[in-house]
Chains A and B, each alone.
Chain A
């Protein structure tokens, strides 16, 4: 593989987006960055701006208010970009099925590359999901 792809898979920069999540998955995403689980050993860091990110980590069941912002954040990311849906709500509505203001999963709004189920998804599972995504990219 070329050097660019090698660099990309060894330092995926993440941006985290809370799309109407209950915060359960969000605190586990943060816990994945903390010393116990330490996703940074895979070269991943959390960035604040979509323009610097490779991987968009989305949690939540996407309410009407948040949907346009999610699409905008996705469009601001430079190619190549990947989306990871963390948690049962992001994978497919979770417990909020049949609520009037939720979508049935992130893939109804933007394309998704990896699904990490769980309610809340454990940091171990999040790490596993990110590593699987990197392997798919040729790590």
Chain B
């Protein structure tokens, strides 16, 4: 049979009990994908089990590292879950600051993704430009929280750092610069035929499939389904801040790009609203370091950059959680990505998988099986990317 050189395509980030680069097995018929099966499991670290033997404050720092790209999401959702279980009322200023961090994280995540998606279709120059401009957001993150990644801003009862008036001014300036750049990249992407060829009618997910397969986030919204946790089940200050749920009807990779660009503009508007309406007051209420959470259950939903995130807490009145369940968004999109791959060319695989915004880690592997020749082979991501660029150069349509 064929030689086997192996490679895995990672799909993540997700929460650790779930988060892993994923091995796909792709069944092909000539140039077309007829079936795709994902096998996650490479990043399983056992966080849910570890949480059961740590106090709530210790868990705060563990949760942050479930995913380095959406660390604020996991951390703040954990805070919301525990605060709801304890019946804690968080000061208004803290919620505004949390919302600002939340949306700044969405900006960093979506711009990171845009650069990586450009890289997947061979547009490396755009990758470098976008990541250079993303540094504006990283600088703001560092000014507000003290770190670029793993910001440790939220805590149970509020946030740990305040935002000074000078910083408010800097945030506005940074957002203005960033907004101009994203406008430019969005218009570039929508006009550049090499990009559009790789994105239009590629990786189609019908609205019916999107709902049946329980897709979440921009993947769902790019199939025209208007669903966003911030609007359906508002948390933090989203019941006060006016914002729009961005959808697009194309159901393909191009739609996913458009939805994420539009979400970035909405995030910028949300942050501006929060800066304009920031209430005065304390930024946290004190909680004991070793706190007991009453016997209760809580479920909290959150809209991470990749989609709906859900945390479930069961407490039996102790100082450690009895059970904490985390389902990060990318796991929710794996059935959809398996469906989306079918009917596409092999050369489309990198961008279709990238379009659900998975982790881009470099341990990529994919196993191919050809139904006609019964040949099977394994490629690494570099080989697949090179193949797909060459294929498109030879077969531009």
Interface residues of A (CB under 8 A from B): 15-28, 30-31, 34-36, 46-49, 60-61, 63, 65-66, 69, 94-96, 98-102, 119-120, 122
Contact = CB atoms under 8 A, between A and B. Distances in A.
Interface stretch (B9-17, B84-92, B163-171, B183-191): B9-17
B362 A17 contact: yes
B380 A48 contact: yes
A23 B68 contact: yes
Nearest to B64: A95
A17 B188 CA distance: 32
B383 A48 contact: yes
Contacts of B61: 95
A81 to B, nearest CB: 17
Contacts of B380: 48-49
Given A27-B149, A95-B62, A48 B362 contact: yes
B191 to A, nearest CB: 24
A22 B67 contact: yes
A18 B47 contact: no
B81 interface: no
Contacts of B20: 20, 63, 65
Nearest to B119: A30
Going nearest first, the 9 A-B pairs with the smallest beta carbon separation are A24-B68, A48-B382, A18-B361, A120-B149, A34-B131, A22-B68, A24-B149, A23-B68, A35-B132
A102 B138 CA distance: 29
Interface residues of B, number: 45
A19 B385 CA distance: 21
Give the most central of A15, A22, A27, A61: most B CB within 10 Å.
Answer: A22
B362 A120 contact: no
B46 interface: yes
B363 A66 contact: yes
A100 B68 contact: no
Given A22-B71, A63-B44, 7 more contacts: A18-B359, A24-B149, A27-B68, A30-B360, A61-B45, A95-B61, A102-B46
A99 B359 contact: no
B362 A16 contact: yes
Most chain B CB within 10 A, of A60, A69, A99, A122, is at A99
A46 B43 CA distance: 22
Contact of A20 (B43, B131, B149, B383): B43
Given A95-B62, A99-B45, A22 B16 contact: yes
A49 B112 CA distance: 23
B285 interface: no
Contacts of B43: 20-22, 60, 63, 66
A119 B65 contact: yes
Given A31-B131, A48-B381, A95-B61, A20 B148 contact: no
Contact of A22 (B65, B128, B132): B65
A104 B381 CA distance: 28
Contacts of A48: 362, 380-383, 385
Nearest to B131: A34
A98 B382 CA distance: 35
B87 to A, nearest CB: 29
Contacts of B383: 48
B65 A94 contact: yes
Given A25-B68, A66-B42, A102-B45, A35 B128 contact: yes
Contacts of A27: 68-69, 112, 149
A89 B16 CA distance: 13
Given A34-B131, A99-B49, A20 B69 contact: no
B41 A24 contact: no
B250 interface: no
